[in-house]
Amino acid sequence: MLIEELEEEIKKKKQKKRIIFLLIAIILVGFAIFIRHNQFFNNNVIVQNKDVEAKEELVIFHPDEGLKLAKTTLKLQKGIQEKNRIDLALKTLKELKAIPEGLTLYEFALDERSIIYANFSKHLVEETKEPEKEITVIFSLVNTFLANIPDAKAVQLLIEGQPVYTLNGIIYTYNPIFYNENLLED
């Protein structure tokens, strides 16, 4: 009788493991499909013709001298989707060497408290070792996101889906980070 109960308990545990594994697999496949679907990027969003009336601005914050951030504004066609605006902002930040070249934004979302959750690849931690670089990278990202997403108040940085206490010991990143006006050029 005891052996039968143990065998039954082992079967239940194996069945639970299978169900958990199946759920994780379904979630991962769904996440992969979501990312693949959202990788569409229109490279022709910068307006070359200055006569076009319907324009929007894309604001980019990038390192300048020391710990200061410079502000650059790009003119865009009106009605560009938010995802494409952020993709263009990140592409521009990479071109300006403001963020790591290998950095990938997996996804971002704005919650009901006006906090942006931005899920980045591990390159954000791995390629920002110097203290000055950590500060400028974080606030280039945070200030750029907040300047371009209406109603956003703060950015919660996630690395591979998880919050981290700090990238490399300088800025506390476990809680949402607010716009930093003190780093802007005078």
Measured between alpha carbons, how far is 67 from 117 in angstroms, rounded to an integer? 25
- DSSP letter at 77? E
CB 98 within 8 A of CB 104: no
Measured between alpha carbons, how far is 54 from 108 in angstroms, rounded to an integer? 27
Distances (CA, A) of 62 to 55, 114, 151: 22, 23, 22
Pure H helices in the chain: 2-37, 82-95, 123-126, 131-148
Measured between alpha carbons, how far is 115 from 163 in angstroms, rounded to an integer? 14
CB 88 within 8 A of CB 58: yes
Two structure tokens written together for 181: 């006006």
Q: Output the pTM of the full model.
A: 0.70
More confident residue, 95 or 28: 95
Instruction: Read off the pLDDT of residues 117-159 as tens digits, 9 standing for 90 and up.
Output: 999 999 999 988 888 999 999 999 999 999 999 899 999 999 9
Q: CA 42: distance to chain centroid?
A: 19
Q: Which amino acid is at 46?
A: I
**Comparing C-alpha atoms, which of 64, 102, 84 is closest to residue 148?**
84
The mean pLDDT of the chain is 85
Quote the pLDDT of residue 50.
46
Percent of the chain with pLDDT over 90: 55
Instruction: Read off the pLDDT of residues 54-86 as tens digits, 9 standing for 90 and up.
Output: 678 999 999 998 889 999 999 988 888 999 999
**CB burial class (10 A; 0-12, 13-18, 19+) of residue 118?**
buried
- DSSP letter at 175? S
Quote the pLDDT of residue 25.
75
